[in-house]
Homo-oligomer: A and B are copies of this chain.
Amino acid sequence: MFMIQPVNTLSKPEFFMQLSELYRQYEDVKGKGLKLNMARGKPAASQLDLSMDMLKLPADCTLSDGTDARNYGILDGISECRQLFGELLGLNPDQIIIGGNASLNTMFDTLASLFLFGTQGHKPWSKLTYEGHKPKFLCPVPGYDRHFTMCEELGVEMIPVPLLADGPDMKTVAELAGADEDIKGIWCVPVHSNPQGVCYSDETVRALASMETAAGDFRIFWDNAYAVHHIYEEVSVLNIIEECEKAGHPDRPYFFFSTSKITFPGAGVSLISSSDANIKELKSHMKAQTIGHDKLNQLRHVQFFKTPENIRLHMKKLADELRPKFDLVLDRLDEELKGSGLLKWHTPKGGYFISVDTLPGCAKRTVQLAKEAGVTLTGAGATWPYGKDPKDSNIRIAPSFPTIGELEKAVDIFILCVKIAGMEKLLYELSVQERAVS
Contact = CB atoms under 8 A, between A and B. Distances in A.
Given A116-B115, A153-B288, A288-B149, A293 B70 contact: no
A48 interface: yes
Interface string A52-96: 000111100100000010111100000000000000000000000
Contacts of A167: none
Per CB-CB distance, the 8 closest pairs between chain A and chain B, nearest first, are A153-B288, A267-B296, A108-B289, A130-B130, A126-B126, A72-B265, A101-B294, A48-B70
B296 A55 contact: yes
Centre residue among A45, A131, A264 by max chain B CB count within 10 A: A264
A61 B115 CA distance: 38
A211 interface: no
A8 interface: no
18 contacts: A45-B71, A48-B70, A55-B296, A70-B264, A71-B265, A71-B266, A72-B265, A100-B105, A105-B290, A112-B112, A115-B116, A116-B116, A127-B130, A146-B288, A153-B289, A264-B296, A266-B293, A267-B295
Interface of A: 40, 42-43, 45, 48, 55-58, 61, 68, 70-73, 100-102, 104-105, 108-109, 112, 115-116, 124, 126-127, 130-131, 146, 149-150, 152-154, 260, 264-267, 285, 287-297
A127 B294 CA distance: 33
Contacts of A124: 126
Given A101-B294, A115-B116, A73 B289 contact: no
Given A70-B267, A72-B42, A290 B116 contact: no
Given A266-B295, A296-B267, A297-B297, A108 B71 contact: no
Contacts of A105: 100, 289-290
Given A48-B68, A55-B296, A58-B55, A101 B102 contact: no
Contacts of A260: 72
Contacts of A100: 100-101, 105, 293-294
B154 A116 contact: yes
Given A265-B71, A295-B266, A116 B108 contact: no
With a 10 A CB-CB cut-off, give which of A57, A72, A112, A265 has the most chain B CB atoms: A72
**Residue in A68, A267, A296 with the greatest tally of chain B CB atoms within 10 Å:** A267
Contact of A72 (B40, B108, B126): B40
Contacts of A297: 267, 294, 297
A146 B58 CA distance: 29
A265 B291 contact: yes
A17 to B, nearest CB: 44
Contacts of A71: 42-43, 45, 48, 264-266
